[in-house]
Structure 1
Amino acid sequence: MNKPTLRKFKRSKKQVTSTTNSLIELTLNEMFNNFIATKRAEALAPRTISDHLNNFKYFKEFIGKDLNRNEISLEVFRNFISYMLHEKNLSPVTVNVRIRTLRAFIRFCYLENYIDDPIHENFKPVKTPQDTIESLTINELKQLFSVIDEEMYTGFRDKVIILVLLDTMVRISELVAMKRSNVDLSSGFIKLEAMDTKTRRSRIVPLSSKTIKLLTDYIEETNDFGSDDLFLTYDGRNISASTFRERLTYYGELAGIKNKRVSPHTFRHTGALLYIMNGGDPFSLQKILGHGHMNMVRKYIQMTNMDVRRQHNNFTPLNGLFKK
């Protein structure tokens, strides 16, 4: 007896159900509220939720109103990308951060049957130059520190924060989440809790003796606040990432650093590059940065031609072959 021939069905990207033909009538804001509620239920990190909220806020400011389902089109998102690049003059890296969060939201809308077309498939991250990661030179770092008024509490705190960012190479979201109880000054380590890291894995970052000394002074200075949060505003509240970004922008302008962005992530890049330039190995750097793959570490240690020449002069294979 012949076996029956099996039919092969091609699955579409969007499952067809009995309710597919009746799209759910929600406005863009209502769709986003449902998206955020879903992401919170999935236990996304607070930092990730905050990124979605902030980037959607920028998009809402651009469109200037709520949209109904029929007004949500590919053209709206392409216009937003053009606006960010050519009117706001944002870097491609910043633009891509906003694009990725919006694509995740619009994909959710499509899968939830809020919109009919897979718009997210047709607006993608823009191309970026190969060398998009900037770092500061030693002279630029010295310029930056020279404009900070350490006599003021906020200035002293900012200097300590910058040193911690450089020394530990943590992300700003990880830094503002630090607690005093995470700091072990006697051993020279800070523990980053899993819930506060991008990878959702805890890790230990080491501190140099210079940072330990200043951090000890800072912790003694802030004892009276009675807060377990490590880095505090002048009135004892936990400092926010956005507040410190604004502080760094101000210092960068004051120091005359015009062609580079002075940001928390710039210190992460700078710390990684200087770590390698000072003789550190990429494997220990990978562990400090908290990256699972070495390809990400490579991005952090892009060297200029002068950097390469200096390293070559120190470590050339000819060293030891001829007497100096």
Structure 2
Amino acid sequence: MHNNLQKFQDYLLKEKNYSVHTALAYGKDLEFFQQFLDGNFDKTALEEVSYTLVRSWIVFMVDAGVSNSSVNRKMSSLKSFYKFLLKTKQIEVSPLSKHKALKTPKKVQIPFSEDELDNVLTHVVYKEGFDGVRDKLVIEMFYSTGIRRSELIGLQLKNVDLSGGQIKVLGKRQKERIVPLLPLMIDQLKLYLDERKVLKSIVDADFLFLLSNGNKLNETFVYRLINDYFSNVSEKVKRSPHMLRHTFATHMLNHGADLNSIKELLGHSSLASTQVYTHSSLTELKNVYQSAHPRNQK
């Protein structure tokens, strides 16, 4: 098993371009399953597992209070592992070939309103100097481009093209995409870059966004930044960078952008991922429908 686990993780990293974090998480899930097998089924090897044994693990986890979404994530790890064993011809049929994911409640995420965004970008008082200029630019960047938190943190100076009005973003699985910048973003970037030049020391010089000590941003800092500023203008419980990505997509839809364009801007590999944002646009869609359909004009 350990030999196959190492090969599987190498496959995820090198062939599937998964992050180290994801490959390790998949490995942990497989180790947990192996421990369950060792404790209950006389050390059955993962390569010899039947769906009955997988089902026993699912029942064990559910009884232990593991959430359906966590169980589904572990099953996703198993599915990938058995696909790898099929690909390398170590098994002929995956024990999960007919597995169906457990049902999970759909969480409807309420995006920020346009008024809330207007308030945070025009009425909130920002700190003086570098910190304030950076904070506002971070919020503007999330809302104007829809990029992920990890993409914003990893954005490099060389990939910001002010004259072309665009940025090159490195997304999931090392996929690059070009995202256009609004004219007001270009002005704010110039202002930020001027402030950035006068920092006393710059440690992570390649990165666009820095802390005042010259290091690049980290995930906790970015989360707190968004949460703190939006707590001034919003009562919503969820005030995260991802909520700004969600808001970007929803507001674009509300103003007539088509799903395919939003898919490209967000860096989604399939339209199904983008369609999650249509739910919060249903109210707007109904209003457009009522006012635009010929049968309602009579």
Whether the aligned pair in 1 keeps the contact of 2:130 and 2:196 (CA below 8 Å) is no
* Larger proportion of helix: 2
Instruction: Determine helix, strand or coil for the equivalent of 1:191.
Output: strand
Whether the aligned pair in 1 keeps the contact of 2:253 and 2:278 (CA below 8 Å) is yes
- Residue 235 (1) aligns with residue 235 (2): no
Instruction: Determine helix, strand or coil for the equivalent of 2:139.
Output: helix
TM-score, normalised by the number of residues in structure 1: 0.63
Q: How many residues align?
A: 278
Residue segments in structure 2 that go unaligned for 5+ positions in a row: 47-52
Query: Which residue number corresponds to residue 13 of structure 1?
Result: none
Percent of aligned positions that are identical? 25
Q: Distance in 1 between matches of 2:289 and 2:222?
A: 37
Code of the aligned partner of 1:85: S
Query: 1:207 Cα shift?
Result: 1.1
- Residue 221 (1) aligns with residue 191 (2): no
Q: Distance in 2 between matches of 1:273 and 1:59?
A: 37
Query: 1:115 Cα shift?
Result: 10
- Residue 257 (1) aligns with residue 257 (2): no
- Residue 185 (1) aligns with residue 162 (2): yes
Query: Which of the numbers 270, 275, 279 marks the counterpart of 1:302?
Result: 279
Q: Distance in 2 between matches of 1:147 and 1:55?
A: 43
Whether the aligned pair in 2 keeps the contact of 1:286 and 1:294 (CA below 8 Å) is yes
Which structure's CA Rg is the greater one? Answer: 1
Residue segments in structure 1 that go unaligned for 5+ positions in a row: 1-25, 87-91
Q: Which moved more, 1:109-118 or 1:30-39?
A: 109-118
Whether the aligned pair in 2 keeps the contact of 1:31 and 1:114 (CA below 8 Å) is no
- CA distance 1:120–1:250, shift in 2 (3 Å): farther
Q: Distance in 1 between matches of 2:207 and 2:57?
A: 42
Q: Distance in 1 between matches of 2:81 and 2:230?
A: 34
- Residue 50 (1) aligns with residue 21 (2): yes
Query: 1:191 Cα shift?
Result: 1.8
- CA distance 1:54–1:243, shift in 2 (3 Å): farther
- Residue 171 (1) aligns with residue 171 (2): no
Whether the aligned pair in 2 keeps the contact of 1:107 and 1:119 (CA below 8 Å) is no
Query: Which of the numbers 172, 177, 181 marks the counterpart of 1:203?
Result: 177
1:12-27 counterparts in 2 under 5 A?
26=1
Query: 1:272 Cα shift?
Result: 1.4
Q: Distance in 1 between matches of 2:125 and 2:45?
A: 49
Query: Which residue number corresponds to residue 247 of structure 2?
Result: 270
Whether the aligned pair in 1 keeps the contact of 2:157 and 2:208 (CA below 8 Å) is yes
Query: 1:113 Cα shift?
Result: 9.5
Query: 1:173 Cα shift?
Result: 3.5
Q: Which moved more, 1:215-224 or 1:125-134?
A: 125-134
Query: 1:190 Cα shift?
Result: 0.8
Whether the aligned pair in 1 keeps the contact of 2:139 and 2:226 (CA below 8 Å) is no
Whether the aligned pair in 2 keeps the contact of 1:282 and 1:297 (CA below 8 Å) is yes
Instruction: Determine helix, strand or coil for the equivalent of 1:176.
Output: helix
Query: 1:151 Cα shift?
Result: 3.9
Instruction: Determine helix, strand or coil for the equivalent of 2:167.
Output: strand
Query: Which residue number corresponds to residue 114 of structure 2?
Result: 138
Whether the aligned pair in 2 keeps the contact of 1:189 and 1:206 (CA below 8 Å) is yes
- CA distance 1:188–1:131, shift in 2 (3 Å): same
TM-score, normalised by the number of residues in structure 2: 0.68
Query: 1:200 Cα shift?
Result: 5.4
Query: 1:148 Cα shift?
Result: 8.1
Query: Which residue number corresponds to residue 6 of structure 1?
Result: none
Q: Distance in 1 between matches of 2:227 and 2:59?
A: 29
- CA distance 1:288–1:103, shift in 2 (3 Å): same
Query: 1:245 Cα shift?
Result: 4.0
- CA distance 1:111–1:207, shift in 2 (3 Å): closer
